[in-house]
A and B are shown apart, each in its own frame.
Chain A
C-alpha cells in the first residue's frame, strides 16, 4: 500500500537552531515529491517539487533533498516566522492519476524567539 510518513509529529526549536524534518515514503512509481507549508486555518502553500533521487532545491532558509526512500526538509537558522506545519506529498502511479497524490500528516514546527 502506498504510504507517506512524516517525522517528528512536532518539533520545537530555538531561533537559530538548525534541524531537519523527515518524509519517508513507500509508493509504486514515484512521479514527484512535494513540500508544502501550512499556517493555521489556511490552505497549504507550495514550496518545492523534487522528481528524482539526488535532487535538491533551496529557498531562503529551507533546503529539500530526495533519496529513493525519503526526503528531508532542512531548516537553517530558523526564525519565529518559520513556525508552521510542513506537509510532504507524493505523486505516485500514472501522470493522470490524481488519486495517487498522497499527503503525510505533517510536522508542526515551532520556533521560539
Chain B
C-alpha cells in the first residue's frame, strides 16, 4: 500500500486554459474526495465519490469544474477556462467506509493560474 497519489504535483497554466488532475486512492478504499485548500485555510470540500458514483458536490464547484471516477478506481478533476481565483492546492483523499470516517490524503496538486 503506497498511499494516495496525485499527479501532477505542480501545474502552472495561463488563464483560460483547461487543466486535469489525477488521483489514485488507496486500493481498497471505496470513497474518494476532492478538496481545495488556499494558504492559511483548511481544506474545503469539493466533491465525493462512493465507488464510481458521484454522490455530492459542493456549491463551490462551479460549472467549470467536473470530476469523474470511472470504474471506481482513480479519479480525475478537470477545470475548464481557468481563472486566477482557481489558484490553490487541490487535495484528494480516500477512505474505506466500514472503518469510519477518517480520510487519507494525497500530497496535493499545486495549481498556479497566471
Chain A interface (Cβ within 8 Å of chain B)?
A: 4, 31-32, 34, 36, 41-46, 49, 87, 89, 91, 96-99, 101-106
With beta carbons under 8 angstroms apart, the residue of A36, A49, A87, A106 that contacts B100 is A49
- Whether the pair B56, A44 counts as a contact (CB closer than 8 A) is no
- Whether the pair A49, B44 counts as a contact (CB closer than 8 A) is no
- Least distance between A82 CB and chain B CB atoms (Å): 19
Give the interface size class of chain B.
20 to 34
> In chain A, what residue has the closest Cβ to B46?
A99
Number of A-B contacts (CB under 8 A): 65
- Whether the pair A31, B101 counts as a contact (CB closer than 8 A) is yes
Name the 8 nearest CB pairs between A and B, nearest first.
A103-B42, A43-B105, A98-B48, A32-B101, A91-B101, A99-B56, A44-B105, A49-B102
- Whether the pair A105, B107 counts as a contact (CB closer than 8 A) is no
Note all chain A residues with C-beta closer than 8 A to B57. 99
- Least distance between A57 CB and chain B CB atoms (Å): 11
Give Cα distance in the complex from A41 to B108, angstroms. 8
- Whether the pair A43, B107 counts as a contact (CB closer than 8 A) is yes
